[in-house]
Amino acid sequence: MGKIKLIKLPADIKAMLKDDVASKRSTMVRNGATSYTYEEKEKYLRMYLSGYVPTTIAAHYDVTPIRVYNGIPQFTSTRGYYRQLFILNRKKQKLKHKLVTVKEFFDNEMYTFIV
């Protein structure tokens, strides 16, 4: 897989992650299920926004792909611009260019509005 390049997450996304983990920690009811830790979700999200697909993330952290799919917070699918950042950084990874950070993505208005 080569060297892993990751972007940094801004404070507002980290706060959303903490809220997401805290809200779901008490709702685990299935036997044998383990809830996600903040660190685990942060690692998955950083790799995802850096342009790595969930199957690659799962192979890197030696977990099942379904754990990564479910571990990536729901706000990435409900807000289309995070998906656009993933696609942009995926292309940059393949071309071996510098990755776009979340701050650069929004400051330079690289996103398109989804209707």
In-domain check, residue 20: no
In-domain check, residue 30: no
In-domain check, residue 84: yes
Give the rounded percent of residues in the chain with a pLDDT score beyond 90.
43
Q: Provide the domain limits for residue 58.
A: 37-115
Cα dihedral 71→77→83→86 (10° resolution): 0
Instruction: Give the predicted TM-score (pTM) of the model.
Output: 0.84
Nearest Cα neighbor of 92 from 62, 63, 51 is 51
pLDDT above 60 for 114: no
Residue for token digits 């208005």?
A: 109
Looking at the 3D structure of the chain, how many domains does it have? 1
Q: What value, to the nearest 5°, has the Cα angle with vertex 49 and ends 44 and 51?
A: 100
Report phi then psi at 79, rounded to 5: -115, 105
In-domain check, residue 16: no
In-domain check, residue 90: yes
pLDDT above 90 for 34: no
pLDDT above 90 for 3: no
Where residue 36 falls among pLDDT bands split at 50, 70, 90? Answer: confident
In-domain check, residue 77: yes
Q: Over the stretch 48-106, which tens digit does the pLDDT of each residue have?
A: 999 999 999 999 999 999 989 888 877 666 677 888 899 999 999 999 999 999 999 88
